[in-house]
Structure 1
Amino acid sequence: MSQPNQFSLLKQRRFAPFFWTQFLGAFNDNLFKTALIVVITFDALSWTNLEPSLVTNLIPGLFILPYVLFSATAGQLADKFDKAGLTRCVKWLEVAIMVVAGIGWMTHHLWLLVAAVVGMGIHSTLFGPVKYAYLPQHLKKEELIGGNGVTEMGTFVGILAGEILGAILVVMQPHGLYFEAGATIFVAVIGLLVSYRIPPSPAPSPELKVDWNFVAESVRNLRFSSKNRVVFQSMLGNSWFWFYGAVLLAQLPVYSKDYLHGDHGAFVMLLTVFSLGVGSGSLLCERLSGGKVEIGLVPFGSIGLTIFGADLYFASNAFAISGAALAGTSADVMTLLGHHGIWRILFDFLMIGMFGGFFIVPLFALIQLRADPAHISRTIAGMNILNALFMVAAAGMAIVLLGQGLTIPQLFLVTALLNALVAVYIFSLVPEFLMRFLAWLLIHTVHRVHTVNAERIPSEGAAVLVCNHVSYVDAIVIGAIAPRPIRFVMDHRIFKTPFLGWIFRTARAIPIAPAKEDPWLMEKAYIDIAQALHEGDIVCIFPEGQLTRDGEINPFKGGIAKIIERSQVPVIPLALRGLWGHLLSRNKENIFNRAFHAGLRSKLALAVGQPVAPQDVTPDGLREDVAKLRGDWK
């Protein structure tokens, strides 16, 4: 079925005012911070005696410090009060902070500006839980990936636009500082006005009593979130991305000046390319995920972050040779673009941003989808606490390593290698991420899978899926299409297949054997199936009991009736089309012919039928339903 374009949300009041409010907030944050960093980097002596590299790592650290101190309180407020009203209070605070910053610009007072940085950190801390808890309250489940993608795109476009304008305004002589002060106050006022268009967003827990002890509440939030393993590991993955990004972005001003030998325009160019990458990656998530929350994109994003982060080190060293003639200059953008070495660096920044989008958007959507709805703002607040701790650690690591003599390109390499280690650790704890990635890779590289009525697979609640059994990859194809994990019941011999067996174990598949072969394993399988259905899982079985040997659908065995007799849940028939003749089917053609019988991007289809009520379930009736769904296409 065709899905509405994700940009159509921008025409709807339930999304548009919220989107523009958060866009203007991100824009103003960076309009202010970037101007301050540019001044410190390129005009340091007139503002402070501190080393520019120290200050440019210190400012982001001060900005996110309030996340550590106030996120727990912010999460409680977002669960207790209407989110629209709370947003307007936050926007009034932003106006006041920008007035203080304006005074700092006009009086040339650095520490007043630093105080405003902390103030904007408080502003962002209060708005964070509102921002990500608002979306699942107003969007349908199938809109979450698209809505998060547009929101992340808007956030990074706002960041980009703010960074560009901030870097331009502050160096305009002789009135740049006044332009900067006026612009930030103006944008804050516009954001306040737009926030009054946000529709009411009732509090999920209005009876909640706010605990102002931020330490105790922070521990309580994290402890509660840790009970849901997938949500908590997603929170850690999200925080790691902010660690990675904080290390990268904090070095850009000095990297642009000392390694690319550029003026402030080089800094803006790198920010532009990186932000465009994140924005495009965020939007592509909707297309690559097929409109559902596809966590298989997370490992894909992580791989790209490591590859292109490491290549940035080598590209920087190569540029040191090709751009040696620029040493001691402050080259503008056009001069830099005339050196071929810069294009590899720009490509790396673009790809880091794009794969970062692949990494972050599914994680946000997964947290919103699987977190307790009554606790979602506090879950987001807990994530913000972790984000803050990781970003403080990023600033600390950068300061220590640079102080020990590492160069900025070497710091990029260290971060990329750390990303690989962290990814392996997270995916070993929650193998569902990696399993979904392998399934996603299969149906986006080797095959093209068309779905028919896939929305009939329920996103929550127990159900049994029944499907024809054509090849060893049937379960992977079905699992890649489904909106949530499926517990597959499969022949114990297939369960033990090398490599594929690891995937099946990771997916918590249930092995079964014929009664005459292993009665104990058969009975255990039925007990495991009943337990899974009792816990609200989806279970998928292949009632033929074996792979087809001729492409036809074999008679369905009576096990399905036994399952439904124990667990009164609906049964949904499925039909796979196009897998007969696959290399991993039991087609008797020459193995070479089978490998290439349909080409590299062979077309498959998965058709989903209407649910069958438990009292109407019979093996013959289900076989007939599956046969009708499959048709003549084997």
Structure 2
Amino acid sequence: MLGLRDREGPMNQFTLLRTRRFAPFFATQALGAFNDNAFRYATLLLVAFQMGLSTQQVNLYSNLGLALFILPFFLFSASAGQLAEKFEKTRLIRYVKLFEIGAMALAAVGFYTHGVALLLAVLFLMGLHSTVFGPIKYAILPQALRQDELIGGNGMVEMGTSLAILTGQIAGGAAIMQHPRGELYASLLVLAVALGGWLASRAIPPAPATAPELRFDPNPWRQTVQALRFVRKRSTVFHAVLGISWFWFFGGIFTAQLPNYTKLHLGGDESVSILVLTLFSVGIGIGSLLCEKLSGRRVEIGLVPFGSIGLTAFGVDLFFARPDAPPASGLDWLAFLAAPGNPRVALDLALIGLFAGFYIVPLFALVQARTDKSELSRVIAGNNVLNALFIVVAALFGLGMLSLGVTIPRLFLIVALMNAAVAFYIYALTPEFLMRFLTWIIVNTLYRIRSDGLERIPEEGPALLVCNHVSYMDALIIMGSVRRPVRFVMYYKIFDVPLLRFIFRTARAIPIAGGKEDPQLLARAFAEVDAALAAGELVCVFPEGGLTRDGEIAPFRPGVEKMLARRPVPVVPLALRGLWGSIFSRRDSALRRMRLPRRFWSRIALAAGMPLPPTSSAAQMESSVRALRGAWA
């Protein structure tokens, strides 16, 4: 079964390529993306350069081809989502790959006969192929991968897709331009790749249906509305989908203008056009792969604001790097890179791609992690509908701005600034993105964290986390390390610390006070803890009741027993190691010496122990935390 874990130890995104549960699927989707672009680019060059058509005819067929490729996403995405939920996914993938072989056979006839109508029909069929494959592609990953592999797996898929798009365009263009047998070479290429994709799909393990009882509704309009309702069901998922769709708008504007941008503003020939596309695609690939490292193998949505900042910053810098006409024209890629100012342009393009990877991978992983498995394919289908809409709007927006006399560099500048506005809007609607970004920045700036045993924290359902309390940063460290959202019970004066107040409020921390200090707040805190556990959430408490003053663990107070008596749930002991002596512990205050620069960027660890029963006493919990922490205070 696809959902079973391999028996190896902890894995990273590259070792996934050695597993049957990921490698055949990765090859299948990459070959599909390659073939889509090889065929489309070969068709574009055939129509543009080898059929003797007028400029008006070429423009008509080019735009009509794009419309026909996008049209199936509007018509059939919802139906594709239903199929992916109702039936076993691997069998569907194999049928889709057989369909691709048939479409490429028609493409070969179209290449040979120069049949524009047939080639346009195949573009529609390949759009249908991508429409059906899309919901399966992203819904199968949570079945194939563990939660801690989800960000790395998505990174690999995005990297593979971006490089497949690039190499597909290069290979398709090179094949069709080989006179006098270009049509033959292009036909053999797309047929061979389609056959390779089908053979790779034969090795994908079974992926059971997630909603086999689903009644298929053939009405595309009704199902499209239903898919969009699934998207809107959870606000965080909905705003993540909006972020993904905005990415397609942003990327669509940039990639559509790159050929003319290369010619008119960079002074480059065809080789520079390929270089520019390569820089953009490789940047996305590297950014996608780095997500696993930067996120600590968690679904870290704090990377999304980081990515959007980079997209705006380097999009703006691209305008200032070359706002006007180039000093020379007809440059090949070597001459382009050697010309003054052009390395800055090349770096901007690569960094736009890099930060695009930081932006898009966590969003896809978030959608997969926060959506019920029985609804995920339909959510992806709704996402695809919105993506297609944003792509069409991007094309119309680009054409409209250029028709008004806006230059391509100024168009890039406008879209980069629009990206900042859209980011602020989404993060205002869902503050969790900004909260996770601030947490990620603060924690990773101050500490080097190693985690141990965090897989013992249940992926679903309620649990009470109990941890030693060493520094003012403890909650942020746990928040940034545990994959699931955590509700923290914390002293109300820490809850109200400036700057951190936003993070704690967004994370829905629960302020508490002593019984003598504020009995009403204490009672309200216990009620909120009970409600959170009843709702299946994780709650974390620091049972010592305050920060350690000497680095040792103080006795756990009995309040934690009262929480469990009211709502019996599993208890997971946590231990923070190495924080005593860091800049936000009380060690330096007690010794009356400066906190900085002592132990800046400290090496610390967070360890989780085996779950304890709800009947455990405070003393038993304390003993487990002491054993976990060991001698490393």
Category of TM-score, reference length = shorter chain: over 0.9
Matched, 1:368 2:368: yes
Q: Scaled by the length of structure 1, what TM-score is found?
A: 0.93
- Gapped regions of structure 2 (runs ≥ 5): 1-7
- Asked if 1:626 is matched to 2:622, the reply is no
Q: Which residues of 2 match residues 132-171 of structure 1 at below 5 A?
A: 132-171=138-177
Aligned partner of 1:103 in structure 2 is 109
Moved more, 339-348 or 396-405: 339-348
Amino acid in structure 2 at the alignment position of 1:579: L
Give the match for residue 3 of structure 2: none
Offset, 1:325: 2.4
Q: Which amino acid aligns with 2:556?
A: F
- Where 1:317 maps in the other structure, the secondary structure is coil
Say whether residues 1:344 and 2:344 are aligned partners.
Answer: yes
Is 1:129 aligned with 2:135? yes
Structure 1 residue 56, shift from structure 2 partner: 5.7
Deviation at 1:38, TM superposition (A): 4.5
**2:323 matches 1:325:** no
Please say if residues 58 and 395 of structure 1, whose CA atoms lie closer than 8 Å, have aligned partners that are also in contact. Answer: no
Write out aligned runs for 1:228-627 (5 A). 228-317=234-323, 320=325, 323-326=326-329, 330-587=330-587, 588=589, 593-599=594-600, 601-616=601-616, 618-627=617-626
Distance 1:210 1:481 in 2: 41
Query: How many Å apart are 1:554 and its aligned residue?
Result: 2.8
Task: Give the deviation of 1:207 after TM superposition.
Answer: 2.8
* 1:342, distance to aligned residue in structure 2 (A): 2.4
Asked whether the equivalents of residues 54 and 399 of structure 1 are also in contact (C-alpha less than 8 Å), the reply is no
Q: Given residue 629 of structure 1, which amino acid in structure 2 is its aligned partner?
A: L
Contact 1:47 1:108 (8 Å CA) reproduced: no
Q: Offset of 1:589 from its aligned partner?
A: 5.6
Structure 1: stretches of 5+ with no match in the other structure: none
2:10: which partner in 1? Answer: 3
The one-letter amino acid of 2:155's match is: G
Taking the aligned partners of 1:84 and 1:265, their CA distance within structure 2 comes to: 39
Tell me the CA shift for residue 39 of structure 1: 5.4
Distance 2:220 2:284 in 1: 32
1:49-105 CA deviation, whole Å, 9 max, x = no partner?
328778766644442221111100111111122222211221222223223333333
Letter in 2 for 1:170: I
Match of 2:219 in 1: 213
Q: Secondary structure at the match of 2:357?
A: helix
For residue 561 of structure 2, give the secondary structure of its aligned residue in structure 1: helix
The answer to whether 1:197 aligns with 2:206 is no
Cα distance in structure 2, aligned partners of 1:309 and 1:34 = 26
Partner-residue secondary structure (3-state), 1:105: helix
CA apart distance, 1:590: 7.6
For residue 262 of structure 1, report the CA deviation from its aligned partner.
2.3
Q: Deviations over 1:132-177 (max 9, x none)?
A: 1122222222222222222222112211110111232233333334
Q: 1:120 to 1:557 in 2, by over 3 A?
A: same
1:332 Cα offset (Å): 2.3
Work out whether residues 47 and 110 of structure 1, in 8 Å CA contact, stay in contact via their aligned partners in 2: no
Relative to structure 1, is the Cα distance of residues 203 and 427 closer, same or farther in structure 2, using a 3 angstrom cutoff? same
Note closer, same or farther for the CA distance 1:589–1:55 as it changes in structure 2 (3 Å cut): farther
How many residue pairs get aligned? The number is 625
Structure 1 residues 613 and 343: CA distance shift in structure 2, 3 A: same
Report the more deviating stretch, 585-594 or 221-230: 585-594
Identity %: 51
Segment drifting more, 502-511 vs 6-15: 6-15
Preserved contact between residue 20 and residue 191 of structure 1 (Cα < 8 Å): yes
**1:515-568 deviation digits (Å, cap 9, x = unpaired):** 222211111111100000001100011122222333333332221011011010
Q: Please say if residues 57 and 251 of structure 1, whose CA atoms lie closer than 8 Å, have aligned partners that are also in contact.
A: no
The CA distance in 2 between the partners of 1:589 and 1:139, in whole Å, is 47
- Matched residues in 1 for 2:174 and 2:321: separation? 27
Q: How far apart, in 2, do the equivalents of 1:586 and 1:182 lie?
A: 70
Query: What displacement does 1:313 show?
Result: 1.5
Distance 1:57 1:358, change over 3 A: farther
SS at match of 1:484: coil
Deviation at residue 34 of structure 1 after TM alignment: 2.3
Q: Using the TM superposition, give the Cα deviation of residue 264 of structure 1 relative to its aligned residue in structure 2, in angstroms.
A: 2.1
Contact between 1:163 and 1:268, CA under 8 Å: does it hold in 2? no
Does the 8 Å contact 1:74/1:381 carry over to 2?
yes
CA distance in 2, matches of 1:296, 1:591: 36
- Which whole-Å deviations, capped at 9, do the CAs of 1:8-42 have from their partners, x for residues lacking one? 3223332222221111110011112223445566x
Compared with structure 1, are the counterparts of its residues 593 and 257 closer, same or farther at alpha carbon in structure 2 (3 Å cutoff)?
same
Q: 1:239·1:383 contact (CA, 8 Å) conserved in 2?
A: yes
Q: Find the aligned partners of 2:624 and 2:392 in 1 and give their Cα distance.
A: 58
Spell out, residue by residue over 1:107-139, the C-alpha distance to the aligned partner (whole angstroms, 9 max, x if none): 334444333222211110011111111222222
Cα deviation digits, residues 359-392 of structure 1 (max 9, x gap): 1112222212221111221111111111111111
Alpha-carbon distance between aligned partners in 2 of 1:164 and 1:456, rounded to the nearest angstrom = 47
- CA offsets 1:213-265 (integer angstroms, 9 cap, x no match): 11111111111231122222221111111111111111112222222232222
- The CA distance in 2 between the partners of 1:579 and 1:594, in whole Å, is 13
Partner of 2:53: 47
Q: What residue number does 1:75 align with? A: 81
Q: Could you report, residue by residue, the CA deviation over 1:416-468 in whole angstroms, capped at 9, with x for unpaired residues?
A: 11111111111222222222222222232221112232222222211111122
Deviations, residues 294-332 of structure 1 (Å, cap 9, x unaligned): 2221121111111112212122227x4xx4122xxx332
Relative to the length of structure 2, the TM-score reads 0.93
